[in-house]
Amino acid sequence: MIPSAVPVSIIMPVLNEAACLQDYLSPLQALRTQGWELIVTDGGSDDGSVQLAQPLCDRVVSAPRGRARQMNAGAAVASGEVLLFLHADTQLPDSASAAMQAFIHSAAIWGRFDVRLSGQRPLFRVIAWFINQRSRLTAVATGDQALFVRRSTFVELGGFADIPLMEDVELCKRLRALGCPFCVRSPVVTDSRRWERMGAWRTILLMWRLRWRYWRGESPAALAQAYRTYVRRHD
C-alpha cells in the first residue's frame, strides 16, 4: 500500500465515454481509498460523461479537446508526487499499488507498464509481446501502456507537447534523454475494440505507417488527419 504522504494522481482524459465510464472508473475506487487521486479531464463531452464521473473521482476538469491538452490540464491541478496517465479503456493490474511504491522509492523518474490486449485471439498475445519488446528496446511507450512520471520532471519538461497525435511518443523521447524507464511487467489491459473493429493486421500496418511517417518528420497534424480519415473509412 502506498502511504497517503506520497500520493499518486491518475489522470484520465475522456470524451463521450458515458456508455462505459462507470465501468472504467469503478475498479479505481480501491486505489482512491489508499490515498491515490483520480482526476478526469473532459474534452467537451455531450453525453453526460461529466455527471457520471463526478461521484467516482476526486475532480473533473474541463479542457480543450485533444489528449495532450486534456492530460496537461489534469496535471496542472494534480497533487500527486507521481502522475499516471491512464486511457479510459485501459485497466491497471491489481499490483499497480506495489509497482508505484517500488517506483517512488527508486531512482527512476518515469516509467510505463507492459500491455495486454483484452481480446482472446492468440494474435493479440503476439501483438502485445511485440509492443512490449519494442518498448524495452527503444525506451519509448505509447499511452496504452499507462505512462507515469514524477510531477517535478513533468513540470520541468513543460508537459505533453500540444500536438494532436504522437504526444506520448514525443514525451518519451524527451524523458529517455534524462533516464531509462521504470518498466512494470505486470500488464495493464487495454480494450481491443479498435483492433477487432478495424482488423488486427490492418491496425498494425496503420500504426507502423504512422510511426514511420512521424520518424521521417511529418507533422503530427497531418498524421492525425490521416488517422481520422482511415478510421472513418474502415469503421
- The answer to whether position 165 is within a domain reads yes
Query: What pLDDT is stored for residue 231 in this prediction?
Result: 65
Domain identity same for 12 and 44: yes
Between the two ends of the chain, the Cα-to-Cα distance in Å is: 42
Q: In terms of domains, do 71 and 187 share one?
A: yes
Residues 200 and 133 in one domain: no
- H helices of the chain, in order, are 21-25, 29-32, 49-53, 67-77, 96-104, 122-138, 151-157, 167-176, 193-198, 200-215, 220-234
**44 in any annotated domain:** yes
Average pLDDT rounded to a whole number, residues 158-171? 94
Structure confidence at residue 90 as a pLDDT band (50, 70, 90) = very high
What is the total residue count of the chain?
Answer: 235
Output the CA angle 97-87-124, nearest 5 degrees: 90
Residues 113 and 153 both lie in one domain: yes
- The CATH number of the domain where 83 resides is what? 3.90.550.10
- When divided into structural domains, the chain yields a total of 2
Does residue 3 sit within a domain? no
For residue 2, is it within any domain?
Answer: no
38-51 residue pLDDT tens: 999 999 999 999 99
182 and 198 together in one domain: no
Q: Which residue range forms the structural domain that includes residue 178?
A: 8-191
Tell me: do 69 and 172 sit in the same domain.
yes
Residue 196 has pLDDT above 90, yes or no: no
Judge whether 21 and 49 are in contact, CB under 8 Å: yes
- 51 and 158, same structural domain? yes
What is the mean predicted confidence (pLDDT) over 109-119?
95
Who has greater pLDDT, 213 or 174?
174
> Which residues in 164-198 are b (16+ Cβ under 10 Å) and which e?
bbbbbbbbbeebeeeeebbbbeebbbbbbebbeeb
